[in-house]
Amino acid sequence: MVILANDVFKPIMYGTAELLGLAPSYVDDTSVFFPHPTSNLDRSQIFRLVDARIDEIANVLLGKRQLKAGRMKDEGISGIKAALAPFCQSLHEDGAELTIGELHGGTLETRLEVREACEDGTCVLPREQLTAIVASMLRDFPQVVNVRMADSREA
């Protein structure tokens, strides 16, 4: 099975796979994503989207995810930072700064600084939950095996 889907449906697909008892990697192993929306494109635009992904589709069909590994390597830390940017912004609005550090041996180092405006620190989720959220958001980045977060509230 190869599933072709718009990228906005990723969270639903991960959740559905889990409910169906499929392996956590099922969506990553079987799906190829297109930028949302596709319903407003004409036939030639759809064809171009497919043409750009046909090798990836063939690789997924044959169980070889070569393209993905290459893409992840190219994206490096900048891709990780881009993926986390909206989350960092929401933390900023809640009174904390999440800094994305280095990636070493599969462990992503992050640092959370909770500002004075949030003195007791309760306006921001506990470190354990934030770490789990960050790890979940990076499930498309197989090079990130573990997320470590230093929290100023624990200093």
Partner 1 sequence: MIEVYEPCGVLREHRVRAAARPRALDGLKFGILDNNKTNAEALLDRVSSLLREKGAELAVKARKEVWSLPAPGEVIDSLAHCEAVIFAHGG
Nearest residue to 29 (alpha-carbon basis) of 19, 14, 16: 14
Contacts of 123 (CB under 8 A, 6+ apart): 94, 95, 96, 114
User: Which residues are paired to 61 by β-bridges?
Assistant: none
Q: Which is nearer to partner 1, 49 or 150 (CB)?
A: 49
Is the bond leading into 35 cis (omega within 30 degrees of zero)? Answer: no
Residue 62 touches partner 1, criterion: CB under 8 A: yes
- Taking CB under 8 A as the criterion, the residue among 11, 47, 66, 85 binding partner 1 is 47
Please state the separation of Cα 19 from the chain's center in Å.
20
Residue 69 touches partner 1, criterion: CB under 8 A: no
Residue 2 touches partner 1, criterion: CB under 8 A: yes
Residue 99 touches partner 1, criterion: CB under 8 A: no
Q: Which one of the spans 48-56, 82-90, 94-102, 129-137 is the region binding partner 1 (CB under 8 A)?
A: 48-56
CB contact at 8 A, 32 and 59: no
Q: Which is nearer to partner 1, 4 or 123 (CB)?
A: 4
Residue 30 touches partner 1, criterion: CB under 8 A: yes
Q: Which is nearer to partner 1, 13 or 88 (CB)?
A: 13
Residue 50 touches partner 1, criterion: CB under 8 A: yes
Contacts of 146 (CB under 8 A, 6+ apart): 106, 107, 108, 135
Task: Give the Cβ contact number of residue 128 at 10 Å.
Answer: 10
Residues that bind partner 1 (CB under 8 A): 1-6, 9, 20-23, 26, 29-30, 34, 36-39, 41, 43, 46-47, 49-51, 54, 57-58, 61-63
